[in-house]
A and B are shown apart, each in its own frame.
Chain A
Amino acid sequence: KNEVEQSPQNLTAQEGEFITINCSYSVGISALHWLQQHPGGGIVSLFMLSSGKKKHGRLIATINIQEKHSSLHITASHPRDSAVYICAVTPRGDTDKLIFGTGTRLQVFP
């Protein structure tokens, strides 16, 4: 069992829909990261959070430390949101490393 699991693995949506991507982890963490990777492109950090909620534009990330769960929400989705979204955690006590999920591939159709 992976220490960081994401669901769903693949997601398709119509433009304008509200999207939720989930991440569950099994280790104690000091931080959780959400990353975005466009096809053939590099990887960009979207959020780094250790509690509560963060918002940037149409993207919202939440984390529940007790339940070891985080969600990434996209409001009013757009085709340019099509990408792979990756969850990663910084383990508590080993802050030089990250453990990555396998990613959620999102396609938003017009």
Chain B
Amino acid sequence: NAGVTQTPKFQVLKTGQSMTLQCAQDMNHNSMYWYRQDPGMGLRLIYYSASEGTTDKGEVPNGYNVSRLNKREFSLRLESAAPSQTSVYFCASSELRAPNSPLHFGNGTRLTVT
């Protein structure tokens, strides 16, 4: 039972390069999320998808795009990376509307933009 699988684990980009972070879950969850984690700050929501076919902006969406390809997969794209996007990125999935449904996280992607 893999849970939430996130790739890659590490990535270094030059300013202006693009990349896509991949995320897949095998728990049949409706809700999926992309967060970034920076030193001294709580996890901040970039985008989320409450169900297949829908996506919504979170707290810090600028510079990012997302695709909910199907119920399993939710990808995050940086079209033109900037040093301010150096961070650790986490994908997560849940059924937050259901009682006793915790959040499940991927192992994170450490991204450095030079």
Q: Which residues of A contact B (CB under 8 A)?
A: 2, 4, 31, 33, 35, 41-45, 48, 50, 86, 88, 90, 95-103
* CB-based closest 10 A-B pairs: A100-B42, A45-B102, A42-B107, A43-B105, A100-B43, A102-B42, A48-B102, A96-B50, A95-B97, A95-B96
C-alpha spacing A31/B107, complex, angstroms: 24
Secondary structure class of chain B's binding surface, majority of residues: loop
Secondary structure class of chain A's binding surface, majority of residues: strand
| Contacting pair B48 A35 (CB below 8 A) | no
B31 to chain A, nearest CB (A): 6
| Contacting pair A4 B42 (CB below 8 A) | yes
Besides A45-B104, A48-B100, 13 new A-B residue pairs in contact (Cβ under 8 A), listed by A number: A4-B42, A41-B107, A43-B92, A43-B105, A44-B105, A48-B101, A86-B43, A95-B96, A97-B45, A98-B43, A98-B45, A98-B96, A100-B43
| Contacting pair A97 B48 (CB below 8 A) | yes
Instruction: List, in ascending order, chain B residues with CB within 8 A of A50's CB.
Output: 99
| Contacting pair A96 B31 (CB below 8 A) | yes
* B53: interface (CB < 8 Å): no
B71 to chain A, nearest CB (A): 15
Instruction: List, in ascending order, chain A residues with CB within 8 A of B56's CB.
Output: 96
Q: B78-114: contact bitstring with A at CB < 8 Å (1 yes, 0 no)?
A: 0000000000001010001101111111111000000
| Contacting pair B105 A101 (CB below 8 A) | no
